[in-house]
Amino acid sequence: MPFITNKSAKEHVDIFYEDYGSGQPVILIHGWPLSRKSWEQQVWKIVEEGFRCISYDRRGFGTSSSPWGEYDYSALAGDLNAIIEELDLKDTIIVGFSMGGGEVVRYLTNYGSSRIAKAALISSIIPLVKQKSDNPDGVPEDALNGIIDALQKDRVGFLKEFSKGFYNYDKNKGERVSEAQLDYDFTIASFASPRATIQTALAWMHTDFRSELKNVTVPTLIVHGDADATVPIETSAKQAAEGIKYSTYEVIKGAPHGLNVTHPDELNKILISFLKK
């Protein structure tokens, strides 16, 4: 099984990854609280279109190891850097979904763009989730605290219901997302480290990337659904598009947060077009 060890971390971390295809490398960074498996509808398409596709499990999730400490974005970006350096990747395209957008921006902040050709933020939390006086469209702090409280009291119970909002299930069930998909997501999410699940949630809830947008100097695709009830478009993609200089902003009408599952054809068309530019 392929692992890359981040030896620069305070606690060595073994990151599990899958590497398919050949050509320009595309790294897929998954969202919370899932794993690389959430990219199922994108991996095959990226490889089929002539790219090398690398997807990996964030520390604490999937098959990667689960250290006790360090789940802030600098630590997570360090894992991404370990992959890029170990595989000696150049001209790389980094694609972050939801929480994964934070690794994209923090990587560019901490390590620069010498190995990076392009970036993509899909349903991303960038630049800020939390509601503040200068971010009125964000998620209220009480709601975020409620998530942490639920995870501490009954993590699996919370995760069992979480995917419904992820996919706007009441509206999209049957036609765009199955009950089996909810069960699959629950299996993946419940398998993750309880500590990692909470600590990474705190990271995406409270990290403010607005001052780091200037560090995103590569062409960047931003894709969001206008029906995203998990990460509202006004506090994320709209601000990101305004703050990232070389950005291309695409809105998928009627799409929820988990548009990689509910709207794969629409997302793949936009993503592959961007990769090929």
Active-site residue 257, yes or no? yes
Cβ contacts of 222 within 8 Å, gap of 6 or more: 120, 121, 124, 237, 240, 241, 244, 247, 248, 249, 250
Catalytic residue selected from 35, 55, 65, 98:
98
Catalytic residue, chosen from 30, 224, 257, 263, is 257
What is the helix (H) or strand (E) element at residue 169, kind and residue range? helix 169-172
On the 0-12 / 13-18 / 19+ scale of CB atoms within 10 A, 258 is buried
Helices (H) and strands (E) counted in the chain, each on its own, are: 10, 8
Is 228 part of the annotated catalytic residue set?
A: yes
Element (H, E) at 82: helix 73-86
List strands edge to edge, sheet with 116-122: 3-6, 13-20, 52-56, 25-29, 92-97, 116-122, 220-225, 247-252
Q: Which residue in the list 224, 228, 236, 263 is annotated as catalytic?
A: 228
Cα distances (angstroms) measured from residue 97 to each of 29, 38, 65, 121, 154: 6, 10, 21, 6, 25
* 265 tagged catalytic: no
Q: Which residues are catalytic?
A: 98, 228, 257
